[in-house]
Structures are given as C-alpha cells and as structure tokens.
C-alpha cells in the first residue's frame, strides 16, 4: 500500500468524521438496543440522529476537530498554535448556541469561562473524552515530531479538560497519528505513544497507560461487546463506556486493532457498543484513515449514497494540514 502524506491527512480527517457520523445515531443506546433496532450486525450505515436532519450528519466531535484544524491552519507566523486553537473553540462555542449537536458540558462550561485551560492551571475536574476526540489534527500537523504532537495534543485537551485522564489521551491520539505518518504500524505507533505517556510518571499516566495496555493485550477474537465491557469505565449515570478520555481511547484503539485490514469494518466495530459511540468511532476512524487514506470511507459513502456533512471541507482541511509546517 502506497499512501502519501496528503492521503493520510485527508484520510485521518474523513475517517474520524465518518466514525462520528456512523456512531451518532447510537451514541446513547445500549448494545442490546442497537441490535434490536439495527440487527445482529449493528448499525452499518450512518442513519438519522436528529429529526429534520439527513443521515451523515456529524456531531460536536467533528465540529471541534475542525476547530482544532482551523486553529493550526491559522497559525504559521501568527502566534501560538494553542492560542489559535482556543480562539477557534470559542468561535465554535458561539456557533453551537444555534447548532448544538450534542456538545459536552465540560467543553461548553470551560469555554463559557472565557479562560484558556492549561496543564499548569487546570480549569476543572473534567475526565471526559472531549479532548481526545478532537486532537487528531494535531498529529497530522506535527507529523514530523511525535514529541511535539504528544505535547501539543495534551495541551489542546487541557484547554477545556483539567485532568490527566482527559488530556493525556489527547496527547496519545495525536502521537499515534504522527507515528503512523512516520510509517509505524498501528501497534508500533500505540506502543511508542504508550512510552511517552509512561514518561509523564505514574500519577499522571496511570489510567491511560493501564487502558492502553488492556487494548493492546486483549485477544482479538473476543466478542466485541465483551471487550467493550472490559475496556469501559462503568459510569453510574450513563450506559456503557467510552465517555472518559482513556476508555474512549482504549476502545477506539482496540476496534482498530481487531480489523487491521478493513478500516470501514473497524469503525463499525468501534460504534456498536453501549456507550459513547460517536467518539469511539471518531478515534478509530482517525487512526485507520491515517493508515489507509480516505478512499475506503469515501467509497462506502458513495455506495450507500450518504452525504457526509462537511465532506469537501474536511478534505480541504486535510490537504492543507498535509503541507502545513510548524
Ligand atoms: Mg459527539
């Protein structure tokens, strides 16, 4: 497979958005409910989530990933990347007052404060996956330095989420994507990112490291829901898992691992479980898109006749990120 930088970048943006759109209709459903509605194989074509909107609609995950991408693209010669990402998040916060798309509470409230969160000055106790779901563009942009991808990825998460359980996974996904651009296998990329997380020390990296190891060690022939149950942090208020930064990352990585030669199937695995399906689909799609490029996802969309929202914009963003230099 001969995939160039542009195809990887576009694939990462499109794959993540595809996963978000496929997972959106089943985000708050249990596995049993998904199977009851979509059959034993689960959902396999992006369906309607919000009444009045067509299938293929993306959620806050892709909106925020696009804001991350735009913040980076604003940046050459124009100051700090993180400041610009923050400005784009503030812009997104205004936009979603009219177009909410399931935006998470931590993201909304932290941006409402008008203060940019940092690792040194955390804004809140947020552990959610709102950072990790939007950090893959950082990995594209900083593809030549996995160290910077990890650091900027973490800091982009800390803009809204104050705990290492949220921002370390944001660094890990950015690092995994950057390592893939370097030609690493998924497994190799994940292991290198794992070491980066470990180097932060146990206090900061414990959960992320433990869950990454579980995702890497899990036998690939286990029933999908079984492994989702194992990788999920039980949440008293919501069904299933993938709601927190580190379990969303682990489920996303696991789904990619079990379908290494079929990116569309990997995303399908990532969304068909009890929990935060759009975010886990987004994470798997980002990894698999960086490996395979956009074609498998675009072909699937063409085959099913689904119009992925922002499709052309996402392609353009990927193309511009592919030539962006820090
Ligand atoms: Mg969402």
Q: What is the pLDDT of residue 274?
A: 87
Q: pLDDT-based confidence at 236, cuts 50/70/90?
A: very low
Q: What is the pLDDT of residue 51?
A: 86
Q: pLDDT-based confidence at 235, cuts 50/70/90?
A: low
C-alpha 1 to ligand 1 mean position (Å): 32
CA nearest neighbour of 93 among 73, 64, 65: 64
Q: pLDDT-based confidence at 78, cuts 50/70/90?
A: low
- CA dist., res. 169 & res. 323, Å (int): 25
User: Mind listing the pLDDT tens digit for each residue in 87-135?
Assistant: 999 999 999 998 888 899 999 999 999 999 999 999 999 999 999 999 9
C-alpha 292 to ligand 1 mean position (Å): 24
Q: What percent of the chain has pLDDT over 70?
A: 95
Q: Which two tokens stand for residue 22?
A: 């496929």
C-alpha 282 to ligand 1 mean position (Å): 9
C-alpha 2 to ligand 1 mean position (Å): 32
Place of tokens 């990120």: 321
- CA dist., res. 28 & res. 317, Å (int): 29
Q: Which residues contact 41 (CB under 8 A, 6 or more apart)?
A: 268, 272
C-alpha 32 to ligand 1 mean position (Å): 20
Q: What is the pLDDT of residue 231?
A: 75
Q: Which two tokens stand for residue 205?
A: 């990296």
pLDDT above 90 for 223: no
User: Mind listing the pLDDT tens digit for each residue in 183-211?
Assistant: 999 999 999 999 999 999 999 999 999 99
CA angle 139, 276, 6 (to 5 degrees): 25
C-alpha 315 to ligand 1 mean position (Å): 20
Q: Which residues contact 250 (CB under 8 A, 6 or more apart)?
A: 211, 212, 214, 215, 231
C-alpha 88 to ligand 1 mean position (Å): 18
C-alpha 57 to ligand 1 mean position (Å): 11
Catalogue the long-range contacts made by 294-298 (C-beta closer than 8 Å, 24 or more residues apart): 294/7, 294/10, 294/11, 294/13, 294/14, 294/15, 294/318, 295/7, 295/11, 296/262, 296/263, 296/264, 297/11, 297/14, 297/15, 297/18, 297/263, 297/264, 297/267, 298/14
Q: What is the pLDDT of residue 224?
A: 65
Q: What is the pLDDT of residue 234?
A: 67
C-alpha 121 to ligand 1 mean position (Å): 26
Backbone phi and psi for residue 109, each to the nearest 5 degrees, phi listed first? -70, -40
Q: Kindly list the structural domains of the chain, giving each domain's residue range(s) and its CATH number in brackets, ordered by start.
A: 5-323 (1.10.4080.10)
User: Mind listing the pLDDT tens digit for each residue in 153-175?
Assistant: 999 999 999 999 999 999 999 99
201 burial via Cβ count (<10 Å: 0-12, 13-18, 19+):
exposed
C-alpha 192 to ligand 1 mean position (Å): 28
C-alpha 311 to ligand 1 mean position (Å): 17
Q: What is the pLDDT of residue 275?
A: 86
Q: Which residues contact 247 (CB under 8 A, 6 or more apart)?
A: 129, 211, 231, 232, 233, 241
- CA dist., res. 300 & res. 297, Å (int): 5
- CA dist., res. 61 & res. 161, Å (int): 14
Q: What is the pLDDT of residue 229?
A: 74
User: Mind listing the pLDDT tens digit for each residue in 57-66?
Assistant: 999 999 999 9
pLDDT above 70 for 240: no
Q: What percent of the chain has pLDDT over 90?
A: 82
C-alpha 129 to ligand 1 mean position (Å): 10
C-alpha 158 to ligand 1 mean position (Å): 18
C-alpha 98 to ligand 1 mean position (Å): 16
Mean pLDDT of the chain: 93
C-alpha 283 to ligand 1 mean position (Å): 12
Q: What is the pLDDT of residue 98?
A: 85
Torsion sign, CA atoms 97, 99, 104, 110: negative
C-alpha 171 to ligand 1 mean position (Å): 19
C-alpha 141 to ligand 1 mean position (Å): 23
C-alpha 74 to ligand 1 mean position (Å): 24
Let me know: does 168 contact 135? Beta carbons within 8 Å: no
C-alpha 207 to ligand 1 mean position (Å): 22
C-alpha 52 to ligand 1 mean position (Å): 18
User: Mind listing the pLDDT tens digit for each residue in 250-260?
Assistant: 999 999 999 99
Backbone phi and psi for residue 176, each to the nearest 5 degrees, phi listed first? -60, -45
Q: Which of 40-54, 225-239, 311-325 has the highest mean pLDDT?
A: 311-325
C-alpha 77 to ligand 1 mean position (Å): 32
Q: What is the pLDDT of residue 88?
A: 98
C-alpha 27 to ligand 1 mean position (Å): 8
């Amino acid at each position: 497979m001969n995939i160039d930088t542009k195809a990887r970048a576009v694939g990462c943006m499109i794959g993540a958005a595809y996963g978000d759109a496929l997972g959106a209709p089943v985000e708050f459903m249990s596995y049993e409910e998904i199977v009851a509605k979509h059959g034993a194989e689960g959902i396999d074509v992006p369906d309607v989530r919000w009444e009045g909107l067509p299938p293929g609609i993306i959620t806050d995950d892709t909106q925020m990933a696009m804001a991350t991408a735009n913040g980076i693209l604003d940046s050459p010669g124009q100051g700090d990347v993180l400041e610009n990402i923050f400005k784009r998040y503030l812009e997104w916060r205004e936009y979603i007052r009219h177009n909410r798309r399931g935006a998470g509470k931590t993201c909304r409230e932290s941006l409402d404060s008008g203060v940019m969160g940092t690792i040194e000055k955390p804004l809140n106790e947020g552990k959610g996956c709102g950072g990790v779901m939007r950090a893959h563009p950082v990995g594209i942009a900083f593809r030549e330095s996995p160290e910077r991808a990890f650091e900027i990825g973490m800091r982009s998460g800390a803009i809204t989420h104050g705990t290492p359980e949220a921002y370390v996974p944001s660094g890990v996904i950015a690092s995994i994507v950057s390592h893939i651009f370097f030609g690493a296998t998924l497994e190799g990329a994940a292991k290198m990112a794992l070491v980066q997380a470990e180097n932060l020390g146990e206090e900061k990296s414990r959960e992320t490291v433990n869950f990454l190891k579980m995702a890497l060690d899990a036998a690939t022939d286990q029933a999908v829901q079984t492994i989702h149950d194992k990788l999920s942090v039980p949440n008293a208020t919501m069904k299933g898992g993938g709601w927190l930064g580190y379990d969303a990352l682990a489920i996303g990585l696991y789904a990619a691992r079990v379908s290494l030669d079929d990116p569309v199937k990997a995303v399908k695995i990532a969304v068909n479980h009890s929990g935060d399906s759009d975010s886990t689909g987004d994470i798997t799609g980002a990894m698999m898109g960086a490996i395979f490029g956009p074609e498998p996802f675009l072909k699937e969309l063409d085959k099913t006749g689904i119009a992925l929202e922002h499709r052309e914009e996402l392609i353009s963003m990927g193309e511009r990120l592919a030539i962006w230099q820090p």
